[in-house]
Structure 1
Amino acid sequence: MNRFALTIAAAATAISFAGAAFAGEQYVDDTGYAASGYDVVAYFDLPQSPVGSAQPAAVPGNADYVAEYNGATFAFSSADNKARFEANPAQYAPQYDGHCAYGVSKGGKVPGNPTLWRVVDNKLYLNITKNVVGFWEEDIPGNITLAENNWVNIEPTEASDRAIPKFSSTAPVK
């Protein structure tokens, strides 16, 4: 069994299936927001850490600044970020409808953790756990190619119904 399969198997035992809610194919956890209420536009303004290093903290959204896209509610930290998103939501929404990019590269839909992120070629990618980030970063371009090829076949399937393991959101209060 490869390292990814072992990691996913271990993560699956830690994943709670209760409380997740979904809108369309976008991954939405029990916060009720896409990207667990984090501001998806703000990622593009944060500095990128080198591969192998943790990224800066994601920016929580605010319930006063929300927009709908892909059947889900996105929250933003400012009116400016909301306006930027509304002008081009596909630019800012996480790839693979907010599912884990490495999971998609392996052919499945599992939740994307908005605190485990990377912007590559002006696109936002999320991963599920810190261990998975390590696998993702071993070959980011190769994993993106695999994910893009797999996404065509798995995109029509329902959004993941799993909670993000060991994750607690700072989502805005509705």
Structure 2
Amino acid sequence: MSSSKTFKTFLMAVGIFLTGHSFAADSDANADANDIAIHGYDTVAYFTESKPTQGSTKFTATYKNTIYQFASSDNRNKFRANPEKYAPQFGGHCAMGVALNKKLDVDPTAWRIVEGKLYLNLNKQVQDKWVSDISGNLKTAYEIWPSIKDKPAASL
């Protein structure tokens, strides 16, 4: 058997193994040990307030087995009505990291909305690099994401 076929067989076996196990949060979601997304920041506030805003444990919603916190019940209700609109892209992982075939954590203050989608970055320096070619980096990230979204970050 060729090494290419062996590798494909291995990947299929790993895929079957992973699908047979459940995780607290979806494997593509960036969440802490308590399944809290975006370090507890309100994902709706990026759109409505145009700034990062800390959420509260009083106002939460679950999406893809990840817990989002909100600054108000109004923001929570907006999220519940349309989570795809407000949830960060790439499961909340750093957009530049995904373009580099990595799943990296984020700094909730390093953010940008592009064409109605929320993107987060590891930090402001990484965001500066990402912003230097948003369209190119997004194109690359969207090409890479399907191949890494179900892989644990530590394996990349």
Matched, 1:135 2:129: yes
Residue 107 of structure 2 corresponds to which residue in structure 1? 113
Q: Which amino acid in 2 is paired with 1:107?
A: N
Residue 67 of structure 1 corresponds to which residue in structure 2? 61
Structure 2 length-normalised TM: 0.78
Deviation at 1:97, TM superposition (A): 0.4
Residue 103 of structure 1 corresponds to which residue in structure 2? 97
Structure 1 runs, 4 residues or longer, greater than 6 Å off: none
**SS of match in other structure, 2:61:** strand
Structure 1 residues 78-97: aligned runs within 5 Å: 78-97=72-91
Residue 40 of structure 1 corresponds to which residue in structure 2? 43
Aligned length: 131
More relative contact order, 1 or 2 (CA 8 Å, 6+ apart):
1
More helix by share: 2
Can you list the C-alpha shifts for 1:91-137, whole angstroms capped at 9, x where unaligned?
Answer: 11110001000000111111122111000000000000221111101
Q: Which amino acid in 1 is paired with 2:25?
A: A
Q: Could you list the runs of 5+ residues in structure 1 that have no partner in the other structure? A: 1-21, 48-55, 162-174
Structure 1 length-normalised TM: 0.70
Q: Which amino acid in 2 is paired with 1:114?
A: P
